[in-house]
Structure formats: C-alpha cells, structure tokens
Amino acid sequence: MENNTINAARPLYTIARDIRRAWPRVNFAAVPYLEAMAALNSVNDKYMYDDGRGIVRYFLANASAFRGDEAKALKAELKQLLKG
C-alpha cells in the first residue's frame, strides 16, 4: 500500500490493486465488486448500472474473510471514501 502523506483520496482502481495483492484468494462473493472497483476512479463513478458507492458497500459486506493489518487499513480507506 502506498504511503499517503497528503489527505487526497486514492483512486478506487489503486485500492483494488492493493486489495488483490494483499488478498490473493479473494472470496468468490467479493470478486465481482473488486473487479468493478478496479474499473472505477471514485465512488461517484458508475460501473454499468451500479454506482461506485454501492459497489464499495457490497464489496465490504462480502470481504469479512479479508483480515489482517493491511486488510483493516484498506477497508478503513474504503469506508472513509464512503463518508467523504
């Protein structure tokens, strides 16, 4: 995961890339949402008929098996994007 010294939000596709690296065996239920996030820049973008916020929420709902310090940090980053 890249170090953010500036509080600028990273693009969703970058976060998705980091999740893929940290979670090599992604839960099958989270895969479609992770793939969609890989095609998005922000939670305000659309992926087909779905909005980015919904995609991130569904990913988080299906990522309970994604554990560890890096997982916690990446999930917190996604939650922060939803708040912002």
Is residue 7 included in any domain, yes or no?
no
Is residue 75 included in any domain, yes or no?
yes
Residues 50 and 69: their CA atoms lie apart, in Å, by 29
Per the structure, the count of domains in the chain is: 1
Q: Tell me 58's DSSP state.
A: H
Residues 18 and 49: their CA atoms lie apart, in Å, by 25
Is residue 76 included in any domain, yes or no?
yes
Q: Which pair of tokens denotes residue 81? A: 């994007």
* pLDDT tens, residue by residue, 47-62: 999 999 999 999 999 9
* pLDDT tens, residue by residue, 15-74: 999 999 999 999 999 999 999 999 999 999 999 999 999 999 999 999 999 999 999 999
Burial 28-48 (b: 16+ CB within 10 A, else e): eebeebbebbbebeebebebe
Overall pTM surpassing 0.85 (yes/no): yes
